[in-house]
């Protein structure tokens, strides 16, 4: 079992969501303290445990602190589509917690820890701290952009391009979360899960992964991925590193 991911750099908070929100809007130390206090407890989810089940009510926000999870939906024909991979700093119950019943399920792909806050308590805080509400709005925009890229991936990229794009996206997001090195990172996902992310069959994921290796673009050892030829990968995947958000209050 992989060692749990940890934040590397020093941060304004031990809660990776708070760290991230601070990059979106200016939060005072008191506001940060108040926000930290709102989180109730830290939970541990074992690998393969469901964190959220579609159809059930759960009006809590779980913030992933370490580990991986997948947000997914099961279809009647037995197929499964993964909506997205949840990484440290991501909000697990987004968007499900905002709806009467959960829209999608979330399952832990590795052991993972999460911090929890009730949605109503969190929204009350947003009400009192405008900067928090605005930071969350920004956070949502990032999320939307991630989803949009996923649509492009699945809709119009070739299987090889999809895999390349997925690897680069995971790397970029993990790096932003302080959980990846310059050109290598740990990705404990089965090929079956990757297939369900990208709308491919597991055997085909296997083949495409081998092709990327054969062409010298990446190498894989255990679940440690190294990007050997970043430029070719970006070219192949048409990958654009995430554009910076405008900063609230900056002049533009």
Q: Which residues bind DNA (CB under 7 A)?
A: 1, 158-159, 190-192, 195, 199-204, 206-207, 209-210, 222-223
Cα separation of 93 and 60, whole Å?
7
For the bound state, the minimum distance from the C-beta of residue 93 to DNA, rounded and expressed in Å, comes to 24
Site for its own copies contains 123 (CB under 8 A): yes
- Give which of 157, 149, 138, 143 is closest to 247, Cα–Cα: 138
Among 48, 98, 190, 210, binds its own copies (CB under 8 A): 98
Per-residue binder mask for its own copies (CB under 8 A), 53-82, x = binder: ----x-x-----------x-x-xx--xxx-
Question: What residue has token string 């092709």?
Answer: 211
**How many chain residues bind its own copies (CB under 8 A)?**
57
Q: Which residues, listed in sequence order, are joined to residue 84 by a DSSP beta bridge?
A: 71
Contact predicate 217/235, CB 8 Å: no
Site for its own copies contains 94 (CB under 8 A): yes
Query: What 8-state DSSP symbol labels residue 242?
Result: P
For the bound state, the minimum distance from the C-beta of residue 9 to DNA, rounded and expressed in Å, comes to 28
Contact predicate 66/88, CB 8 Å: yes
Number of CB atoms found within 10 A of residue 3's CB: 8
Cα separation of 142 and 252, whole Å?
19
Given DNA, its own copies, none, residue 201, with its beta carbon under 5 to 8 Å by kind, binds DNA
Among 95, 159, 178, 188, binds its own copies (CB under 8 A): 95
Based on CB atoms, which residue is closest to its own copies, 26 or 43?
26
Contact predicate 27/19, CB 8 Å: no
Based on CB atoms, which residue is closest to its own copies, 14 or 99?
99
**50-52: strand order across its sheet:** 50-52, 105-108, 69-74, 80-86
Q: Which residues, listed in sequence order, are joined to residue 186 by a DSSP beta bridge?
A: 224
Given its own copies, DNA, none, residue 134, with its beta carbon under 5 to 8 Å by kind, binds its own copies
Among 45, 68, 138, 239, binds its own copies (CB under 8 A): 138
For the bound state, the minimum distance from the C-beta of residue 50 to DNA, rounded and expressed in Å, comes to 14
**Which three-class secondary structure state does DSSP give residue 232?**
helix
**184-186: strand order across its sheet:** 184-186, 224-227, 218-221
Given its own copies, DNA, none, residue 203, with its beta carbon under 5 to 8 Å by kind, binds DNA
Site for its own copies contains 190 (CB under 8 A): no
Number of CB atoms found within 10 A of residue 192's CB: 14
Residues in contact with its own copies by CB under 8 A are 57, 59, 71, 73, 75-76, 79-81, 83-84, 94-95, 98-101, 103-104, 119-120, 123, 126-128, 130-131, 133-134, 136-138, 140-145, 147-148, 150-152, 154-157, 196, 198-199, 238, 243-246, 248, 252
């Amino acid at each position: 079992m992989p060692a749990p991911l940890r934040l590397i750099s020093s941060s304004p908070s031990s809660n990776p969501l708070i760290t991230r929100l601070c990059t979106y809007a200016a939060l005072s130390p008191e506001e940060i303290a108040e926000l930290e206090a709102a989180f109730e407890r830290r939970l541990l989810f074992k690998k393969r445990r469901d964190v959220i089940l579609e159809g059930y009510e759960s009006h809590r926000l779980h913030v992933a602190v370490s580990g991986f999870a997948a947000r997914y939906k099961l279809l009647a024909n037995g197929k499964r589509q993964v909506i997205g991979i949840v990484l440290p700093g991501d909000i697990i119950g987004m968007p499900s917690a905002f709806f009467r019943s959960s829209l999608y399920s979330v399952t832990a792909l590795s052991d993972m820890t999460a911090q929890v806050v009730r949605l109503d308590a969190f929204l009350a805080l947003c009400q009192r701290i405008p900067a928090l509400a605005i930071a969350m709005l920004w956070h949502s925009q990032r999320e939307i952009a991630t989803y949009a890229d996923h649509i492009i991936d699945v809709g119009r990229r070739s299987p090889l391009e999809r895999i390349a794009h997925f690897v680069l996206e995971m790397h970029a997001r993990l790096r932003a979360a302080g959980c990846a090195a310059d050109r290598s990172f740990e990705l404990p996902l089965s090929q079956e899960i990757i297939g369900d992310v990208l709308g491919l069959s597991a055997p085909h994921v296997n083949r495409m992964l081998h092709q990327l290796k054969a062409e010298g673009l990446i190498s894989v050892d255990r679940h440690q991925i190294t990007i050997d030829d970043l430029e070719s990968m970006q070219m192949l995947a048409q990958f654009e590193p995430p554009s910076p958000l405008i900063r609230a209050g900056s002049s533009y």
